[in-house]
Each structure stands twice: as C-alpha cells, then as structure tokens.
Chains A and B, each alone.
Chain A
Amino acid sequence: VRVRVLFFGQLKDIVGVAVEDADLSEGARVEDLFERYGRRFPKLGEFRASIAASVNQEYAGWRAALVLP
C-alpha cells in the first residue's frame, strides 16, 4: 500500500522534507513506518517516546493500522 507521510516540527527538520509517499506491505502499522524512517534517519530514535502520530487526522498509537479498513 502507498501512504502519504507528512512531517512536522522537529521531524521535518530531521527528515528534510515535509511530505513524501511511502510504499508498505499490506497491514502495515504506524510502528512499521517509524522503523523504516528510523533506519534512514537514526536520530529519529531519540524521539521515539515523544512523537505524536496521526492516521487520517486522528491521533494514533504504534499499533494503529496505516490504512483504515
């Protein structure tokens, strides 16, 4: 599945872009996306506990699916 990823605040500075698309396997969760970016940008790991994530404009935890059924 393809999702559009938006970055804000500190994360935008670290990643260097405000928006990009990412291709993930079926059933991917917020944590899968974070891990993928964590490999590209190891500094993101420092923010693991304090990051806020949302899926389709609702706050979402690590286990939340990226594509709503």
Chain B
Amino acid sequence: VSGGQGGGQQAAVADDVYQLVRQPINAREIAESVKAPEDGAVVVFDGFVRNSFKGKRTLYLEYEAYEPMAYAKMREIGAQIRASFPIHRLAIWHRLGRLEIGETSVLIAVSSAHRREAFEACRYAIDTLKRAVPIWKKEYFVGGAVWAEGETPSQEAISGPGEST
C-alpha cells in the first residue's frame, strides 16, 4: 500500500500498533513513536485511573479482556480509521490487570500532517474502543468492589427490546 515517500499521508498500515499490556504504559514514548518528519501533529488520548467512582473513593482498578477478540476489534477500529481519516500513524494501547490511581489504562496516539484529522481519528478511536472492544473494569473500594457498567453492545442493543423468549 505504500506509495513512496512523497505523500506524507500514505497509509502506513503495517506500522499501526495495537497492544494489550500488563506493564505501565509509557505515554511519552508512544507519542514520540508515531511522529515522522512529514507530520505536523500528534494527538494523544491518555485515559487514566480516577480516584472516585459514583461518589466513592477508589482504591485501585482491575481490567480484564477477552484478548483475541479485543485485538481483532482494535484492528477493526484501525481499519475504519484508515478508511475515514487521512492520518499517518496510529497506536492503540490498553493496560490489563491491576492499576493504581493516576496510572494510564488506555493510550491512543495519532499522527498526521494537519491537526484536524488527528483529532477526529483519535476521538473516533477512543469512543469506538469503549463500545466495541471487550474489556471489563472492576472498581475496588474500602469494603467492596463492583464491575463498572460497560458500553459493549447489550442484548437490548443487538436484538431489540421486544425480542426475547
């Protein structure tokens, strides 16, 4: 798919990065990794662990994923972005396991020649990731824990509210 060096907006699909990791995510390193001389903008979304959930003080979180499906869905998001936005490089990282307050859970970095497509692609990536990638979050408090309501497609969303037997 490479069209040579001249364009600056050639789809560098082979360079797209999708990672599920259990080690801390290095936001700065990933943001640097998507930059190239022909780019003029990098947009980074850094989602990190908040210290409260529905008014309760959070101690820490645990994330788990259905990993093969999560990778497949992340690659689908990348393909959708490639079809919609003339960006240069894309990196989507999500951390799994136990995370402390303030630690990055999801990091998305998009580079492009100009800012608009990088912003739009990054926004699309995080919004779609939340809905489509099978990852679950458990919030731990003093004296208990709850699974957060996900945004993955519910039966109601797929089958319709009337359809049940």
Say whether A31 contacts B164, CB under 8 Å. Answer: yes
Q: How many residues of B contact A (CB 8 A)?
A: 22
Count A-B pairs with CB separation below 8 Å: 58
Instruction: State whether B64 touches A59 (Cβ < 8 A).
Output: no
Q: Does A17 contact B (CB under 8 A)?
A: no
**What separation, in Å, do the CA atoms of A60 and B161 have in the docked complex?**
15
Asked whether, in the complex, the Cβ of B72 is within 8 Å of the Cβ of A57, the reply is: yes
The answer to whether B153 touches A59, judged by C-beta atoms less than 8 angstroms apart, is yes
Is B55's CB within 8 Å of the partner chain A? no
Q: Is B29 close to A, CB under 8 A?
A: no
CB-contact partner of A6 in B66, B155, B158, B161, under 8 A: B66
- Whether B2 is near chain A, meaning CB under 8 Å from some CB there, is no
Chain A residues engaging chain B, CB cutoff 8 angstroms = 6, 8-10, 13, 31, 48-54, 57, 59-63
CA distance A62 to B159 in the complex (A): 6
Complex contacts, A54 vs chain B, CB 8 Å: 66, 69, 134
Asked whether A9 and B155 contact (CB < 8 A) given A31-B165, A52-B134, A62-B164, the answer is no
